[in-house]
Structure 1
Amino acid sequence: MPAPAQPTARPHVRVAPRTLLWALAGLCLATLVPPADLWATIHHLRVPDTDDAMRLAEVRDLINGQGWYDNVQHRFLAPAGVPSHWSRLVDAPIAGLILILTPLAGRGLAEGLAAALWPLLLFGLYCGVLYRGMRANFGRHAAILALIAATQTLGVTLQFAAGRVDHHNVQIVAIVGLAVCMIRGGVRSGLIGGASAALSLAVGLEGLPSIAAAALFVVGDWCLRGRPARPLLAGFGLGLGVTAPALFAAQTAPGLWTATRCDALSPPWLWLTLGGLLLAVCATLAGERLASIRARTAVAGLCGAILLAGFALAFPICLGGPFPDMPPLVRDHWLLTVNEMAALPKFIARGQWEALVFYPVVVLATAAATWLAWRGPEQRAWAVMAVFLWPGLILGLFQFRGLYIASGFVPLVAGAILARALSVEVDVDSEGGSASRNRSGAVLDGNGHSAKPLREAAGPRNSLPRWGVALLGGGLISTVWMAPAVLAAALVPAARTAPDPAGASACRSEAALAALKTLPPGTVLAPILIGPAILLHTRHRIVAAPYHRAIPGLTAAIEGLGGTQANLDRVLTAFRVDYLVACPARPAEDLQAETAFATRLTRGTAHSDRLVPLSLPGPLKVWRVTPAPLRAGGDPAG
C-alpha cells in the first residue's frame, strides 16, 4: 500500500526591507499633493502666497514681450512702475513650460499646468539630491527613509506645494546640493557646490547666512587640515567667484552693473564672492608653503579682514540689512505683521500654535546633528548638516523665514536617525552600494551573502537605547507635531489673536476677483495682500503690494485704509485711484484711536460723496471713485 502523500510545504515569502521602504516612499510621494489643490491650481490658478501671484504676473509679462532686463512691474504704481528684485532665472523656466504647454492646452490652462508642474519638478530634483547624498554617506535604506521624511516635513512640502512658484524652493535645492558637495569634498564637488551657492544668491539673498556659514566651514577646514581640504576650497572659491558674476551679468542690465542693491545680487555681494575666489587662488598657489595651521589661519584672517573692511567702507548702506530706507510706519504696520518676518514669541503671543509644526523638528535636527558631529560616526556629514541647520534655527527664532532652508536639512537627519532606530544599519562601500546586518550581527550584502563590514550609517553608537533613538526619529517628523498644535488650539482658542488667513485667501481668489475683472481697467487701492492677485487675475493697475521697493504704495495703503477720511481722500487724489476695494474679513489696522474710516465704510456706518458703491458678487466691497470737489481756489479738497 503506497504511503500517503506528504503535504507540500508552502514556500516562505519574505519581502526585503528595501522593497517595503520603497513602497512606503511611493505611497508618500503619490499622496504628497492633494488632488483638490492640484485641480484648483491648474483650472483656477490658485497659488499659496502673494509672492507666487506676483511671480506669475512677471512671467506673463515676459511671455507677452517685456524685455529680459526690464523687470519693472508697469501696472504697479503706474506710470513709473516698480522694479522687481527677483531673478529672471526663475521666470525663464516657468515661461518655457507655459510656452511648451500652450499649443497642447491653450494659454490659460498652460499657465495653471506650469504653476502645478514647476514645484513638483523641483521637488523631484530635491529628492534626487537628497537620495544621492544620503546613499553615499548613510546607505540606501537611510536614503529612502530620508525621502519618506521629506514628504512629512511640512517646512519642505509647503515650499514645493502646487502653485508654489516663488524662489524659496530653488534655494532649498541649491543649498542642499551645496551641502552634499561639501560632505563629499574634492575639486569637482567644490566647483558644483560653489556654482550652487552662486545660483542661490542670484535667485535671492535669503540663503546668504547659510552660504556664509558654508564658506566659513570650508575655510576653517582648510586651516585645520591643510592639504586634504585644499581641493574643496579651491573648487568652491572658483565655482562661487566665477559663477556669481556670470549669473549677475546674465540677469542684470549693463547700465545697472555698478548700482548698489542691498536686497539682490549686486556689487556688495560680488565683492565678497570675488574675495573668496582670491583666497582660494592664494591657498592653491601657496601650496605647501602654508604648512602650519598658524600660517593658514593668518592668511585666512587677513583675507577676511580685508573683505569685511572693504565691504564696510564701500557699501556702508548695506550694513543695515536689505531694507535700509524703510520708514517706521511701513516697518511697524506692514513688515512686522508679515508671518515670514515674525519671531517665535510673536507666534506664541498671538496663539498661532501651527508654529509648533515647524520649530521643534529644526531644533531636534540641529541638536542631533551637532551631537553626532562630535560623538557619532560619519562626523563630517553631521558637521556639515549642523553648519546649515544652526543659522536657520537662530534666524528662525527672530524671523520665521529663517526656517525655510533649515527645514530642507531635516529629512537628512531624520533618514539617518530612523535607519538606526529601525535597526537598518547600512554599510556603505565606495561604489555607493550597501550592506545590512542580520539579527546575529553578521554583515550581509544586498543579496543576503556575507560581506566585510565597512562603516555603520546612522549613529549614535552606544549612546542612546533603541527606544530613545526611535523617539528622536519620531520627533523629527513634523506631521507628528500636528497633534499638540491642534490640541493647543482646541484647549486655548481664546488665546488666538492672529487674523484668520482664510478670509484673506478668499479675498484674493480668482472667484473673488472675477467681478472686479468685469470693470473697465483702472487704478485700484486695495489691501496690500490683495495687490498681486489683482495683477494676476485682472487688467487693473494697483497702488500697493507687499514689496519693500514700493514704499510710496505701502505708505498710501496703510494711511489711506487705516486712517481718517481726510487721509483716504488724499491718497485717492494723489494716486488717481479709480476703484477702492476692501476685504471685510481683513480690515486695515487702525492708525488712531477711532476705527479707520475705510473700515467703517465697509461696515456701512460711514459714507463719502466721492465713493459710489458697486453691487458686485463675492466677498469684496468695491466703490467707484469720483473726482474730488474743487475748492474756491481751484484745488481739490482734502
Structure 2
Amino acid sequence: MSSAPSFTEPKSGRWIDRGRHAQWVLFALWLECVLVWMVRYWGSFDILDFRDPDDAMRLVQVRDFLNGQSWFDVSQHRVNPPFGGPMHWSRLLDLPIAGLIALFRPLLGAHGAEVVACVAVPLITLGILFLLFRRALRDFLGNGLSLFAIALLATSFAILAQTPPLRIDHHAWQIVMAAATMGGVLHHDPRKGGIIAALAMAMWLHISSEALPFAALVGGVMAVRYAQSAAEWPRLMTYMLVLVAGCAGLLLLTHGWTGSLMSYCDAMSPVYLAPLAAVTAALWIAHRLVPQDRAILRFLPAGVAGLAGAFLFARIGGRCLAGPFATLDPVVYEFWYKGVLEGLPIWKQDPMLRAIILLPSLAGIIGLCVAWKREPDPARRVQWLSLGLLAAGGLCVAILVMRSMSVAHLFALPGSAWMIAGLYARVETMKSALARVALVLPLCAISPAGLTSAAVLMAPAPLSVTPSTSCSSPAQIAALANMPTTTLFAPLDIGPSILLRTSHSVIGTGHHRNVAGIGKVVHAFLAPPDQARPIILSTSARYLLVCPNLDETGRYRKAQPNGLVAQLVAGHRPSWLTPVKVPGVDYMLVYRIER
C-alpha cells in the first residue's frame, strides 16, 4: 500500500474532483438510500408502524406541542395521571416534525401530514449527515476519498438503522452532530474549527447526555493537537468557551430560567455545566501560568483542567456520580432497564452484536493507524492521529454502551475508506483481469456491510419480528379505542403506542424519569395477585392489559412464575379482575379492575 491512495490528493483534471460532479454523486448516493428505504417500509407508512416505542412517543410529544402544550413542558400528562410522566427529551427535535405537520396539514389532513413528516424527517436527516460528513473530510481527503467514505457510510448497518422512514427519535441527530464535530476537529482554521465543534457538541449534549464522554473525547483530541503544535491553542480554547456558552444558551432556551437551574442526571443541567465551566476556567488560567515552549508543557493545562472539572463534579455530583439511572429502584433496574439491550455494555450482548460492534470499528482503526504511520506530511499526520483517537475513543464508549456504536463506526469510516482505496489501487495495477476480480471480492468483505454480514454468518441470532397477530401490532392497539376513554394499567413497552393510537392514559412507559409509574407497573406484574392488587388500586387505572407474546411479559413470567402476569397468561384470574371483550382486540387480555 502506498503512503496514501492516489485520489487523496485531488487533481483538477479528474471529473470526481470537480465540485458539481461530486455533488451529483453525493445526491445519487442519498437517493439510492431513499429509494431502498421507501420500498422496504412502504407498507408501514399509512399505519405509522413504528419499530421502536420511542418513535411513537416522539410523535405523541409533537402532537401535544401542536395542540398547545408549553414549549418548556415536555412531560406526558396522560402518563401516570393525575401526576404526569416527566420526560428528558429535547423540544428542539420536535421542530422539524412539527413544522412539516403544520405545513402539510391543510393539504393532507392531520394523519396525512403526520405520515409525510415521519417519513421525510429521517430521510432529510440522512441527507444532512451525508453533507456534513463530506464537508468534514473533503479538504483533508479530497472529493474522491470523501465520497468513497460516504459510499461506505451507505452500507453501514449501525448508522442506517437510525435513518429509515418513521425512525423519528433522536439517535440519527446524534450521528449528525458527531459528523459536524468531526468537521470542527479537522477544520483547517483552528478558531473556526473550535466554534464548529463546540456548537455541534452543545447541540449533541442537549439531545442526549450520552454525548458527555464524546465531549471529553473531543476536548482530549484537541489537547493532543495543541501538544503537537502551539498554533492549535485557539481550537481548544474556543471549543471550551463556545461549548459552555452554547450549553447554557440551549438550556435557557428550552427550559426557561427556572427550569435551567434544576439539576438532572440524565440531561445537560447545572450538575454538568458547572464542571464544564470549571474546566474552561482552569484551562485558561493554566495556559497563562505554564510555559508553552515544549509539547509536554502544552499538554499540562489540559490535564489540570480535567482534574479541576472532575474535582468539582465529585463535590456537586451527588447521586449523578452513580450514573443517569441512579434513581431507579433495584427491581425496576433489573427487570426493565436490563431489558433495554441498547443501553448495556458489549459483554451483555449476544455474540453477533459483539461482532457487529467491534469489527467495523477495528477495521477503520487499523486503516487510520497505517495511514498515520505512512503519512510523510506532519500536518496530515496530525489529522490522521485525530481521526484515530476519535475512532478509538468512540469504540471504547460503544463497548460500554451499545447504542453508541453508530458514532464509533462513523469515526472509523475514513480509515476503512483509505485502506480499501489503497488496496484497490494496488489491485488495479495487476495485468490479469481474473486476479483483479478475485482480489476485489475480499475488499468488499472489509467494508462495513461485509464485516456486518460476516458477523451475522459467524454468530447468527434470531430476528425479532412483530407478527400481524401480535397483541402489540398497530391494529390491535388501535382497537383499544373502542373502549371509553380511561386509564390503562398496561405493559411499559406498548404504553407509547396506546398514547399514540387511542385517547387513553397509561400508568407507565419505558421512560425512566417516571420512576413512580414504572415502579408500580413492574412491581405489580411481578407480585402475586393478592400483593399486586393494592399496588394497582393505588393508581388511577380502571382496566388492566396483558400482552402474552410481548418480550416484556416473557421476562415477568420467567422471573416470577407465580406473579400476576404469569398467572393471567396461564388462565388463573383473581376475583378482582373481570374479563372484558373489546371489539377488534383478539390477542390481548383485557380486564376491568374491581375496586
Give the TM-score band, short-chain normalised. 0.7 to 0.9
In structure 1, runs of 5+ residues without a counterpart are 1-14, 426-437, 441-464, 629-638
Residue type of the alignment partner of 2:154 = T
Instruction: Tell whether 2:95 aligns with 1:92.
Output: yes
Instruction: Tell whether 2:63 aligns with 1:60.
Output: yes
Matches within 5 A, 1:42-81: 43-81=46-84
User: In the aligned structure 2, how far is the partner of 1:619 from the partner of 1:393?
Assistant: 45
User: In the aligned structure 1, how far is the partner of 2:437 from the partner of 2:211?
Assistant: 36
Residue type of the alignment partner of 1:333 = F
Instruction: Tell whether 2:453 aligns with 1:482.
Output: yes
Deviations 1:353-400 (A, max 9, x none): 355444321232233324433444643333222222223322323331
Deviations 1:20-74 (A, max 9, x none): 9949736733444142414423x11222211111111111100000001112110
TM-score for both structures, normalised by structure 2: 0.86
Could you tell me which residue of structure 2 aligns to residue 29 of structure 1? 33
Contact 2:371–2:415, Cα closer than 8 Å, also in 1: no
Could you tell me which residue of structure 1 aligns to residue 3 of structure 2? none
RMSD, matched Cα: 3.2
Return the match for 1:225 from 224, 229, 232: 229
Give SS of 1:85's match. coil
Instruction: Tell whether 2:248 aligns with 1:245.
Output: yes
Give SS of 1:111's match. helix
User: In the aligned structure 1, how far is the partner of 2:559 from the partner of 2:356?
Assistant: 36
Could you tell me which residue of structure 2 aligns to residue 598 of structure 1? 565
Residue type of the alignment partner of 2:387 = M
Could you tell me which residue of structure 2 aligns to residue 271 of structure 1? 274
Number of equivalences: 565
User: In the aligned structure 2, how far is the partner of 1:598 from the partner of 1:560?
Assistant: 9
Residue type of the alignment partner of 2:446 = G
Q: CA deviation at 1:624?
A: 3.6
Residue type of the alignment partner of 1:114 = A
Instruction: Tell whether 2:182 aligns with 1:179.
Output: yes
Residue type of the alignment partner of 2:515 = I
Residue type of the alignment partner of 1:549 = R
Could you tell me which residue of structure 1 aligns to residue 211 of structure 2? 207
Could you tell me which residue of structure 2 aligns to residue 8 of structure 1? none
Could you tell me which residue of structure 1 aligns to residue 322 of structure 2? 320
Instruction: Tell whether 2:588 aligns with 1:621.
Output: yes
Contact 1:240–1:277, Cα closer than 8 Å, also in 2: no
TM-score for both structures, normalised by structure 1: 0.81
Q: For the structure 1 residues 176 and 287, does the alpha-carbon distance in structure 2 shift closer, same or farther, using more than 3 Å as the test?
A: farther
Q: For the structure 1 residues 315 and 488, does the alpha-carbon distance in structure 2 shift closer, same or farther, using more than 3 Å as the test?
A: closer
Instruction: Tell whether 2:515 aligns with 1:511.
Output: no
Matches within 5 A, 1:426-441: none
User: In the aligned structure 1, how far is the partner of 2:518 from the partner of 2:545?
Assistant: 15
Contact 1:526–1:544, Cα closer than 8 Å, also in 2: yes
Q: CA deviation at 1:232?
A: 1.2
Q: For the structure 1 residues 412 and 98, does the alpha-carbon distance in structure 2 shift closer, same or farther, using more than 3 Å as the test?
A: farther
Q: CA deviation at 1:591?
A: 7.2
Q: For the structure 1 residues 471 and 319, does the alpha-carbon distance in structure 2 shift closer, same or farther, using more than 3 Å as the test?
A: farther
Contact 1:358–1:478, Cα closer than 8 Å, also in 2: no
Deviations 1:256-279 (A, max 9, x none): 222211110101221233234435
Instruction: Tell whether 2:395 aligns with 1:372.
Output: no
Matches within 5 A, 1:77-476: 77-185=80-188, 186-226=190-230, 228-278=231-281, 281-282=284-285, 286=288, 290-348=292-350, 353=352, 356-376=355-375, 378-423=380-425, 471=442, 474-476=445-447
Residue type of the alignment partner of 2:514 = A
Give SS of 1:524's match. strand
User: In the aligned structure 1, how far is the partner of 2:382 from the partner of 2:437?
Assistant: 23
Instruction: Tell whether 2:575 aligns with 1:611.
Output: no
User: In the aligned structure 1, how far is the partner of 2:220 from the partner of 2:383?
Assistant: 16
Contact 2:194–2:238, Cα closer than 8 Å, also in 1: yes
Q: For the structure 1 residues 384 and 567, does the alpha-carbon distance in structure 2 shift closer, same or farther, using more than 3 Å as the test?
A: farther
User: In the aligned structure 2, how far is the partner of 1:273 from the partner of 1:78?
Assistant: 37
Instruction: Tell whether 2:541 aligns with 1:577.
Output: yes
Deviations 1:233-273 (A, max 9, x none): 23312321221111111011321222211110101221233
In structure 2, runs of 5+ residues without a counterpart are 1-13, 431-435
- The structure in which a higher percent of residues are helix is 2
Q: CA deviation at 1:523?
A: 1.0
Contact 1:155–1:403, Cα closer than 8 Å, also in 2: yes
User: In the aligned structure 1, how far is the partner of 2:349 from the partner of 2:480?
Assistant: 34
Moved more, 583-592 or 84-93: 583-592
Moved more, 97-106 or 289-298: 289-298
Contact 1:25–1:144, Cα closer than 8 Å, also in 2: no
User: In the aligned structure 1, how far is the partner of 2:99 from the partner of 2:158?
Assistant: 28
Residue type of the alignment partner of 2:225 = D
Residue type of the alignment partner of 1:256 = G
Deviations 1:331-361 (A, max 9, x none): 111111112023333333xxx7355444321
Q: For the structure 1 residues 321 and 367, does the alpha-carbon distance in structure 2 shift closer, same or farther, using more than 3 Å as the test?
A: farther
Contact 1:142–1:415, Cα closer than 8 Å, also in 2: yes
Contact 1:559–1:567, Cα closer than 8 Å, also in 2: no
User: In the aligned structure 2, how far is the partner of 1:69 from the partner of 1:93?
Assistant: 17
